[in-house]
Amino acid sequence: MLRFILRRLGVSAFILVLGSVFLFFITVFSGDPLEDLRESRDRTAPQQMEARIRNMNLEEPWYVRYWMWAVGVAKCVTLNCDLGVDSTGRDIQSALTSAASSTLRLVTLATVLAIIIGISMGILAAIRQYSGFDYAVTFASFLFFSLPVFWVAVLLKEYGAIRFNDWIADPGISLTATIIIGLLFGVTLASLLGGDLRRKLITGAASAVFAIGAMLYFDSVGWWRQPALGLGLIILIAVGAAVVLTYLTVGRTNPKILYAALTTIAVGVVGFFVFQSWIKEPTYPLLLLMLAIGVAVAIVSGWLWGGWDKGIAIWVSIGTAVAFAGATALDQLLRNWGPFLERKPRPISTIGSGAPNFEGPFWTGVWDWGVQLILPTVVLTVISLAAYSRYTRASMLETIRQDYVRTARSKGLSERVVITKHALRNALIPITTIVAFDFAGLIGGAVVTESVFGWSGMGAMFESGLDRVDPGPVMAFYLVTGTAAVLMNMIADIAYAFLDPRIRT
């Protein structure tokens, strides 16, 4: 495996070099970098022209300029990169650091959401083939895949930002809208859970009544501007995660797995009161420390309760601890939604990745950082969601028809074990290829999204470099996206070996 990885790294490096030469060449000869100054009547135009020639090394042939750039990139091996300056004299490396952090946080979140939601929808659609849920997922997938990115972005700016900001100033949901939303929730949940007609009617009716009642309650207490979960809902979320994880791993065969998770929740409740001051006014190191403590407690709990399934008990307890920590963080975020609205009455901006000169406590700062991610993240997630759901559905349908799956069923294994331990692992092998290409592709696709939402990320850097016929920013964009493509493909190769041990040979 090591020889294979080293060989792939060598081939990938060679391809990156060839691609960089080609991109540098076409960028340099795509126009005249001095055209705007040649037509300018500004008295300082000659001085500006000399400065630009000096910054871009225009007196040198293109291959010499490429070599100078390559030598600067080679210094990255010693963590001393030198990417030069752009046409305006600004250091490209510092601009790249800022742009890459902005784009990567956007693309990473969108990729994770698309993977989780898309694969889950694909699995459920395959299990319930030709059901109403399957048809709905298929229709939504083709719809999302066909929508132009810029059009979706403009719609989200209108309804997700402008109209939402108007609504949140005096929030309220009419009775008609409440009933419609509740019925849609009931139909969706009934279709998702499946069963015969009687079970679907009962599930749908109960879910619709619950949703309608919850929205009426939220409306009456002004929850939309002063929301919170409370310790009760935090515990309920953690218990739900414990039950789901236990069912997916061992079902009802070993209740000690559930006891380990419940013990983790009990210790988490104690920690909720012990670390209350840290929770209300944290820092990122404190959050990581509390999460590490929760994981350590989960490992001890799983080890003590696990019996012959210690490994599974530990992982289920860790998942439960993460769910408890996530629900606790969500509760604090919701509690600080009101203070955030006081500082920023129109919370979601249509331009930019954050409010300039925003000041506030930790959680309100997280709101300012996070709400600007919502709209562009939704756009990029929708782009990838269709591909993940369709490929996962097709892969699952092909896998569950294999002989070894029929053999597993004939041995009397439960459908949960057949799907999670036999079919899903093999169905995920082709999906890893999509993940590898999609991550690098999303960085390139973010150019349009960032342009619509006014993000100062990799897309803006790439676009400005092309407009000014400046290869420096363009090559910085290529350096990040090319490296991301190589690394993601390498991770995909390693994931192949994990999912199918036969690949290791």
Please provide the DSSP assignment of 124-159 as one string. HHHHTTTSHHHHHHHHHHHHHHHS-HHHHHHHHIII
The interaxial angle of helices 429-453 and 149-156, nearest 10 deg, is: 60
The tens-digit pLDDT sequence of the chain (505 residues) is 677 677 777 887 888 889 899 999 999 988 888 887 887 777 888 888 888 888 888 888 999 999 999 998 888 877 788 888 888 888 888 888 888 888 888 888 888 888 888 888 888 888 888 877 888 888 888 888 888 888 888 888 898 889 999 999 889 899 999 999 999 999 888 877 777 788 888 989 999 999 999 999 999 988 999 999 999 999 999 999 999 899 888 877 788 899 999 999 999 999 999 999 999 999 999 999 999 999 999 999 999 998 788 888 999 999 999 999 999 999 999 999 999 998 888 888 877 666 666 777 899 988 888 888 888 888 888 878 888 888 899 989 988 888 888 888 888 887 778 887 788 878 887 787 777 777 777 776 677 777 788 777 887 888 888 888 889 899 988 888 888 877 777 777 777 766 666 665 5
What does the pLDDT read at residue 417?
Answer: 80
Rounded Cα–Cα distance for residues 134 and 122 (Å): 9
What does the pLDDT read at residue 288?
Answer: 94
Rounded Cα–Cα distance for residues 361 and 282 (Å): 9
Q: Residue 415 burial by CB count (10 A; 0-12/13-18/19+): exposed, middle or buried? A: exposed
Whether the CB-CB separation of 420 and 479 falls below 8 Å is answered with: no
Cα–Cα separations (whole angstroms), residue 156 to 67, 120, 140, 152, 375: 44, 24, 17, 6, 6
Whether the CB-CB separation of 67 and 471 falls below 8 Å is answered with: no
Helix (H) or strand (E) holding 381: helix 362-399
Position 320, amino acid: T
The interaxial angle of helices 62-74 and 471-499, nearest 10 deg, is: 50
From 331, 365, 337, 367, select the one nearest 226 (Cα to Cα).
Answer: 337
Q: Is the dihedral of CA 60, 61, 65, 71 positive or negative?
A: negative
Whether the CB-CB separation of 137 and 191 falls below 8 Å is answered with: no
Beta bridge partners of 91: 85
Q: Which long-range contacts (CB under 8 A, 24 or more apart) does 136-140 make?
A: 136/191, 137/389, 137/393, 138/390, 140/386
What does the pLDDT read at residue 502?
Answer: 64
Pure H helices in 147-196 = 149-156, 163-169, 175-193
Q: Enter the DSSP assignment of 59.
A: T
Rounded Cα–Cα distance for residues 374 and 455 (Å): 13
The angle subtended at Cα 247 by Cα 246 and Cα 252, nearest 5°, is 95
Q: Residue 372 burial by CB count (10 A; 0-12/13-18/19+): exposed, middle or buried? A: buried
Whether the CB-CB separation of 381 and 114 falls below 8 Å is answered with: yes
What does the pLDDT read at residue 503?
Answer: 62
Q: Helix (H, G, I), strand (E, B), or coil: what is residue 345? A: coil
Q: Residue 228 burial by CB count (10 A; 0-12/13-18/19+): exposed, middle or buried? A: middle
